[in-house]
Structure 1
Amino acid sequence: MDGEDDRNIDAIWPLHIEVRLKPDVVTRFDTIRNAANTYITSSYSTLTFPTTLEGWQDNSVLSSSVDRIIACESPCPSTSLPIEQIALQIHVYQYSENDTPEEYSNAGGAEGEEVMAATVCELPSKMWDGLWDSLIFSDDTKSRLLDYIYATVLFSDADVDFNIVTWNRVVLLHGPPGTGKTSLCRALAQKLSIRLSHKYPHSRLLEINSHSLFSRWFSESGKLVQGLFSSVMDLVEDEETFVTVLIDEVESLTAARAGAMAGTEPSDALRVVNALLTQLDKLRYKKNVLVVSTSNLAKAIDTAFVDRADIVQYIDLPPREAVYEILRSCLLELINKGVVAPVDVPPIHQALSYVNTSNSSLNQSTISPRERARQVSVRLLTLAQKCRDQGMSGRSLRRLPVLAHARYIGLSYVPPAKSRAASSSVSESMATSPPTTPSPAPTQRVNGTSKSRGAQIVLTGMAGLGTRVEVWLGAMEKVVENREAEVKRFEK
């Protein structure tokens, strides 16, 4: 054991640094990469990750070109390393100038039927900024996918003989709806466009519309699949472009051939499956392509497709700890935007340590910021457990703040021109009792326009006053309670 610790002390760990450039900057990426490396190695004795780096604004090369520098992740089990033990992996990237997806259509059928078969997006795209970090799973799903891609790139660069060691560049994510499968595929494509930018200056994401590929013309669907993948092959022919192909709800294309052969499925479905498998076999020889797919009905997928997937990953509903971090990320975003008043919301490991030590009362007149953070985290953890007991998906969890505001906060009447403490006390009372139907609010002139006082308060809150986090917790708790009752009615 001591020997293992000694090896870890002497080990050199890779640490990924992402450097985002400002729009319209034309400085060479390698110039920025060298400047960032020099700055980090000369300015830091220890790096903590993940974290946003500061201080580089004093560097003339970086300040004129760089928008943000983030120390992301490392395979090191620690979250902090001395600079001597770090091998910096610096990735410089810039958002694509074109954020509008391009639609791909196929012509099929005897009358030249137009089918919207796919969309193509240039990467990295601003609309998916932060998507990777927003996805929270209980295991190492994200790092496992990245490591898989790195392995395929390494084997391809080493020109490993396909007849001896094989891989298909296909990933299948399956699980209940709303667990983030499609978002993870998009975020992975975005992340790869950044991490592989030194090797592939350009990246694209092609999303296949599985449902549209079944033509109303008999026997045409297989031809549509072939035509679409011919377009994919054209994209892949550019060896400086990395292409990620996303097949969402892949069961629509890969319905089990056994059903078709038994006569329970249309013969056209059999042609589609065969056409897809043939095209995948052709793509596997290309170094600059990855096929990612999702499914809510894994049992409906043809076994031949599953066999071609290098990774078959189940994406489950989030456990309590992941639910906590998802809700915490929502609160932090609202705090950052001024909707929720500033407060410390501890991460999950601190929340777990507070469970048996925090005072459960949230109505103390005088409370330290540290104790308040303890109480907020314990209450949020309790809410996370309730969400988990109901089997709420990540998609449902991220809707909670909107529903909480719509049902219990937005319609609350709060007198105008009050101090933060007074406003908070009124808001707290609204959070602890069911809202009543408000009487018409008095109106006043605001910038020459008649506005209700309630509306003025909403605008004031958005401008920076914010609502206390306890109010939001109370509102979200009620949404979850009401959801449980509605689900029971629905299931009757």
Structure 2
Amino acid sequence: IISKMKGLSDVNGDETIKKDSMLFSSNVQHIIHVEILQVTNSLCSRNEIEAHVQELVATISYITSDIIITTFSDPILTDNVIEVQICHVEGSEIEGVNLKDCRVIYHVYKLESQGSDVEELEEEEGIPAAHHWILPNAEFHKLWDSLVYGDNIKSKLLNFVNTTLLFADKQVDPNIISCNKVVLLHGPPGTGKTSLCKALANKLAIRLNDRFRYGQLIEINSHSLFSKWFSESGKLVLKMFSKIHDMITDTNSLVCVLIDEVESLTRSRVSSTAGSEPSDAIRVVNALLTQLDQIKKYPNVLILTTSNITGTIDLAFVDRADIKLYVGFPSLEAVYKIYSSIIKELIDKGVIFPADIILPLSFLDMQEKDLSFTVQARKLKDISEDSVGICGRTLRKLPFLAHAYHLQTPVMTLDDFLIALKSAVRQYYTDMKNLEQ
């Protein structure tokens, strides 16, 4: 494995593996990742850009959250870099870190501007069997940062990938310690499971670009693998995975396979044999399980799956999933962060003016209650408390509806926006109650 990775970048294989082993770890010395988005047509080398960014980072001593820098005094960075993002410690409970006490790892990358390509199977012409992206892709830029979860879900996923690579590098015997490289995210609709899978694939393509020259994301359309012809569905699964096998053989590429609503492909064989499902469904499950067993030996593949209805998934598939993470409705802290990010975006785009400060939720108890920005933060906290139990997808629609229904002005104050947002939350509950009747 080490010899195969040599020549993928400017660093040698040993340095690459050392860097990979530190990608997402949580040792005593905190790890800070600096992601550097290079101009697409820039001819400047990664090493030169990294050296100039190191000088920039050296001027920053302490961070409490992610820092994004888009303007530079250094002409090399101005001409060749779009932005520099200094990422706070993944999954850390600490409020801030001193960069001088941290290990800083740099990732220079370019975004692929082309969107997805459609993959079709010959037997089912006109029906897209999968969508295919080259990573990192502009379509998923900032998606990772926009997703807010509790229970350190994002850091757990990064650490999972780190461990799979480490064990592959160390040539750990899979017969002794098993790893199928399968992730199952389950939970109610609208909680961002599919978005998280896409964001994870894009993030990995950035963080691992010293190891893999590029990434690929294949999103399988599960419904396209069920043929109108009896007994043909299993063959369609085999044909789809045959294409995936061809991609995996390129060891310069990290291949992430996304199967959304995996329950449609892995419906329990118990119900099928009981007569409630056609026997063709059994062939699909068997074919999928066989393919998962065959591709797990490759170090450059990751299977990402989501499900809204876990009770119907075949137990053999559930058993193959290495980690099964529940993605539920956002907590109070997560709701507050989501609303805060929305307010920041509206301020940045000039929709909310003047630019008021929204304190982090953890800072509220430390501030004087009569300060204007503290009062606004407490109003936002009250709205967030009312919004607990609403899925993330809807939370990001409510500010739009707040403006559409209650404001209709090109520019608004933060106070006016908070009043409108509170009304939009109330209207949401009224609408849901009417739907249930």
Fold in common (TM above 0.5): yes
Residue of structure 2 aligned with 1:176, choices 188, 197, 206: 188
Q: Structure 1 CA distance, aligned partners of 2:227 and 2:185? A: 26
Letter in 2 for 1:381: K
Structure 1 runs not aligned, ≥5 long: 1-9, 360-370, 411-457
Q: Structure 2 CA distance, aligned partners of 1:193 and 1:94? A: 10
Q: Which moved more, 1:167-176 or 1:80-89?
A: 80-89
Report the counterpart of residue 406 of structure 1 in structure 2: 404
Report the counterpart of residue 270 of structure 1 in structure 2: 282
Report the counterpart of residue 26 of structure 1 in structure 2: 43
Deviations 1:202-251 (A, max 9, x none): 11111011112111111111111110111111111110010111100000
CA contact 1:50–1:79 (8 Å) conserved in 2? no
Q: Structure 1 CA distance, aligned partners of 2:366 and 2:326? A: 30
Distance change (3 Å), C-alpha of 1:131 and 1:223: same
> 1:45: Cα distance to partner?
4.4
Q: Structure 2 CA distance, aligned partners of 1:261 and 1:307? A: 20
Letter in 2 for 1:473: L
Kindly indicate whether residue 270 of structure 2 is the aligned counterpart of residue 255 of structure 1. no
Q: State TM-score, norm by structure 2.
A: 0.89
Q: Structure 1 CA distance, aligned partners of 2:246 and 2:232? A: 21
Residue of structure 2 aligned with 1:104, choices 111, 114, 119: 119
Letter in 1 for 2:105: Q
Q: State TM-score, norm by structure 1.
A: 0.79
Aligned residues: 409
Secondary structure in structure 2 of the residue aligned to 1:67: strand
Q: Which moved more, 1:128-137 or 1:74-83?
A: 74-83
Kindly indicate whether residue 421 of structure 2 is the aligned counterpart of residue 476 of structure 1. yes
% identity of equivalent residues? 39
Report the counterpart of residue 378 of structure 1 in structure 2: 378
> 1:149: Cα distance to partner?
0.5
Secondary structure in structure 2 of the residue aligned to 1:58: coil
Q: Structure 2 CA distance, aligned partners of 1:352 and 1:103? A: 51
CA contact 1:171–1:291 (8 Å) conserved in 2? yes
Q: Structure 2 CA distance, aligned partners of 1:374 and 1:171? A: 41
Residue of structure 1 aligned with 2:89, choices 68, 74, 80: 74
Deviations 1:166-187 (A, max 9, x none): 1011000000110111111111
Q: Which has the higher contact order (CA 8 A, sep 6+)?
A: 2
Report the counterpart of residue 358 of structure 1 in structure 2: 369
CA contact 2:64–2:88 (8 Å) conserved in 1? no
Q: Structure 1 CA distance, aligned partners of 2:257 and 2:366? A: 43
> 1:39: Cα distance to partner?
4.5
Q: Structure 1 CA distance, aligned partners of 2:220 and 2:342? A: 30
Q: Structure 2 CA distance, aligned partners of 1:95 and 1:78? A: 31
Secondary structure in structure 2 of the residue aligned to 1:467: coil
Report the counterpart of residue 488 of structure 1 in structure 2: 433
CA contact 1:181–1:294 (8 Å) conserved in 2? yes
Report the counterpart of residue 137 of structure 2 in structure 1: 125
> 1:52: Cα distance to partner?
2.5
Q: Structure 1 CA distance, aligned partners of 2:336 and 2:274? A: 47
Report the counterpart of residue 6 of structure 2 in structure 1: none
> 1:471: Cα distance to partner?
1.3
Q: Structure 1 CA distance, aligned partners of 2:423 and 2:28? A: 50
Letter in 2 for 1:19: I
Q: Structure 2 CA distance, aligned partners of 1:178 and 1:35? A: 41
Q: Structure 1 CA distance, aligned partners of 2:327 and 2:366? A: 27
CA contact 1:107–1:115 (8 Å) conserved in 2? no
Q: Structure 1 CA distance, aligned partners of 2:82 and 2:295? A: 36
The aligned runs of 1:214-363 (5 Å cut-off) are 214-341=226-353, 342-351=355-364, 353=366, 358=369
Q: Structure 1 CA distance, aligned partners of 2:223 and 2:365? A: 44
Q: Structure 2 CA distance, aligned partners of 1:343 and 1:47? A: 21
Distance change (3 Å), C-alpha of 1:38 and 1:474: closer
CA contact 1:351–1:381 (8 Å) conserved in 2? no
Q: Structure 2 CA distance, aligned partners of 1:208 and 1:164? A: 31
Residue of structure 2 aligned with 1:15, choices 26, 32, 43: 32
Letter in 2 for 1:478: S
Q: Structure 1 CA distance, aligned partners of 2:344 and 2:128? A: 39
> 1:275: Cα distance to partner?
0.6
Distance change (3 Å), C-alpha of 1:483 and 1:46: closer
